[in-house]
Amino acid sequence: MKHRTIQGTILYTSKKPERMDQERGREFFSITAQSDDVKVLHAHCEIDDAPNVVRDVILAMNPDASPIDCSVRISVGDKYEGSGWMRFTPHYVECETHNQRDGRITQKVDISTPVKWLQAHPIVGDALLMRMYDLSQGPGKTFFPDLFLTSPDHRGATGPLLFKTGFGIRYIGEETVTVKAGTFNARHFQVVDTAGNLPEEHPPYNLWCTADDDYLFLKAGVEGYMQTFYELVDYKITERGLS
C-alpha cells in the first residue's frame, strides 16, 4: 500500500511600509495522503512578531478536507499557552484542552450536519479549506455556516478550544502564478463575510493554490491592519510503500 507526501516551507513576510518584505515567520509542513483516502497534515508554525507564537498542529482529514481529529500545542512569548485534542463525528464534536486563561476545558457540541472544516491556523491549511467551494458553479461566492476554529484570534494565539463560526469563500478564477517554489497553474480565492462571526472582523484575504486536486498553498495576502504576505518557497512530493 502506497502513501504520498507533500513537504514544503512557507515564508511569512510583512507588507507594512516600514517593514516591507521583511521576514516575520515561517511554516514547515507535510501532507500525507494515505491509502485509506485520509490526509494527515503536520504543521510547525512560527510567528516572530511580539509576542511570538509557536504552534504545532496535527490534523487528520477526509478526502473533502472535513476534519476527523486534531491536536494543537501553542506557545506565546516563548511560554506555554495551551494544548488540546478534538474529534469530529457526524452528530457531535468533542474537545479536551488546557490553556493558560481558562485551565482545563471539556467541550461537547451537538451538530445537525457533519462539520466541513476546522481552522487550526496553519497557513497551508487555508488552501485545503478551498475544497469546500464547488468549482462546477464557476466564479462566485458561497457562505459556509457551522465551521469551527481552534482559536478566534487572527494569529491563532489563544486556546486551543472549539469556537463556532462561519464565513464565505469567493472564487475568482484560474491564473498563472510564480512564487519562489516555481510557476504554477493556480486558482484564486478570497475569504469574505467574516463580520459578525468573529470577535473582530478579519481583514480581506486573497489566496492562490494549485489548480489540481492537491490544493497546494502557493501564496496569500492579508490586507487591513495586518498587511502580511505568505509564499511557498520550496516543496517536494514523495511516494512510499508497497505497490
Residue 187 CB coordination number (10 Å): 23
What DSSP designation does 158 have? S
Quote the pLDDT of residue 219: 98
Q: β-strand 103-110 against 67-76: which pairing, if any? A: unpaired
Alpha helices of 17-151 — where are they, by DSSP H? 123-129
Q: Quick: pLDDT tens for 173-189.
A: 999 999 999 999 999 99
The answer to whether 41 touches 30, Cβ cutoff 8 Å, is yes
Our separate counts of H helices and E strands in the chain read: 1, 15
Residue 114 CB coordination number (10 Å): 15
For the cut 70, the answer to whether the pLDDT of residue 202 exceeds it is: no
Place of cell 511569512: 12
6: helix, strand or coil: strand
Please name the residues in contact with 123: beta carbons below 8 A apart, sequence gap of 6 or more. Answer: 10, 12, 27, 45, 217, 220, 230
Q: Quick: pLDDT tens for 145-166.
A: 989 999 999 899 999 999 999 9
Specify the length of the chain in residues.
243
Q: Quick: pLDDT tens for 27-37.
A: 999 999 999 99
The Cα 115–Cα 184 span in angstroms is 31
Q: Quick: pLDDT tens for 32-85.
A: 999 999 999 999 999 999 999 999 999 999 999 999 999 999 999 999 999 999
Write out the H or E segment, with its range, that includes residue 177.
strand 163-179
pTM: 0.94
Average pLDDT over residues 216-222: 96
